[in-house]
Amino acid sequence: DLERAVEDAVHTVQGVCKDGRLVYGGGAAEMACSVAIDKFADQHPGLEQYAIRAFAKSLECVSKVLAENAGWDALQVVANLRAAHVTGSGDTGVDVTHKQGICSMKDKRIYDLLATKQSAFRLAVEGAMTILKVDQIIMSKQSGGPKMPGR
The pLDDT tens digits for 32-63 are 999 999 999 999 988 889 989 999 999 999 99
Q: How far is Cα 5 from Cα 15, in angstroms, rounded to an integer? A: 15
For 86-94, the CB contacts below 8 A with 24+ separation are 86/35, 90/24, 90/28, 90/32, 91/24, 91/28, 92/28, 92/31, 93/24, 93/25, 93/26, 93/27, 93/28, 93/31, 93/63, 94/26, 94/27, 94/63, 94/66, 94/67, 94/70
The residues near 67 (Cβ < 8 Å, ≥ 6 apart) are 73, 74, 77, 78, 94, 101
The domain total for the chain is 1
- pTM summary value: 0.79
CATH number at residue 57: 1.10.560.10
- φ, ψ of residue 78 in degrees (nearest 5): -65, -40
107 in any annotated domain? yes
The residues near 24 (Cβ < 8 Å, ≥ 6 apart) are 32, 90, 91, 93, 105, 106, 110, 111, 112
45 in any annotated domain? yes
Helix and strand numbers, DSSP H then E, in the chain: 7, 4
148 in any annotated domain? no
5 in any annotated domain? no
135 in any annotated domain? yes
pLDDT of residue 144: 63
Write out residues in the chain with pLDDT < 70, as ranges: 135-146, 148, 150-151
88 in any annotated domain? yes
149 in any annotated domain? no
- Domain span at residue 52 reads 15-140
74 in any annotated domain? yes
